[in-house]
């Protein structure tokens, strides 16, 4: 049920992959139409209503090179922390790939847990938190027009939080 690292306990489910499954029920409430799941890693882990985008599935497409089709939403779970370069560039690029009124739905890991997982996972490049994302979106809102956005304050059972951006 739990594992321990440096005297701190973590739920074992946080080490099993497929974090997106915990975000699907919430995403189902707000995502409609056609969309992409960016960084899903495996087809069976993709948001069920989305077109999976991951170099392991579609080698020609990745977070910074999406298909030409503009979609209603982009769902992305535990991907932004892996993006080489500025994660902000990816989000701003994704905004160009969704229609007006479209949504970017991010499910992101708790950076305290990321520090733990980073010991065994050198692919985590960015340490993200609700306050970092909130600060970024406040800045972004001044630079471009966003209809609405929110960041959850706390973490769920999987040690993750949500960011929803409406264009």
pLDDT digits (tens, 9 = 90+) for 94-115: 999 999 999 999 999 877 655 5
Helix (H, G, I), strand (E, B) or coil at 19: helix
Residue 40, pLDDT > 80, answer yes
Confidence class of residue 27 from pLDDT cuts 50, 70 and 90?
very high
- The full set of domain ranges for the chain reads 17-146+156-166
CATH superfamily of the domain spanning 17-146+156-166: Vaccinia Virus protein VP39 (3.40.50.150)
Strand partners, 76: 106
> For residue 3, what pLDDT is reported?
65
Give this prediction's pTM.
0.87
Q: At 80, give phi and psi (nearest 5°).
A: -55, -30
Average pLDDT of the chain?
Answer: 87
């Amino acid at each position: 049920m739990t594992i321990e690292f440096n005297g701190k306990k973590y739920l074992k489910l946080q080490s099993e992959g497929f974090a997106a499954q915990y975000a699907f029920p919430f995403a189902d409430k707000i995502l409609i139409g056609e969309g992409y799941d960016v960084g899903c890693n495996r087809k069976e882990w993709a948001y069920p209503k989305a077109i999976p985008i991951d170099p392991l599935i579609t080698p020609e497409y990745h977070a910074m090179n999406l298909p030409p089709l503009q979609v209603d939403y982009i769902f992305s779970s535990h991907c932004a922390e892996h993006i080489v370069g500025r994660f902000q560039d990816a989000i701003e690029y994704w905004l160009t790939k969704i229609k007006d009124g479209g949504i970017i739905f991010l499910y992101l890991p708790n950076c305290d847990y990321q520090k733990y997982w980073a010991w065994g996972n050198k692919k985590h490049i960015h340490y993200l938190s609700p306050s970092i994302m909130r600060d970024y979106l406040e800045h972004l809102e001044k630079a471009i027009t966003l209809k609405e956005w929110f960041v959850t304050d706390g973490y769920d059972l999987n040690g993750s939080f949500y960011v929803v951006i409406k264009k």
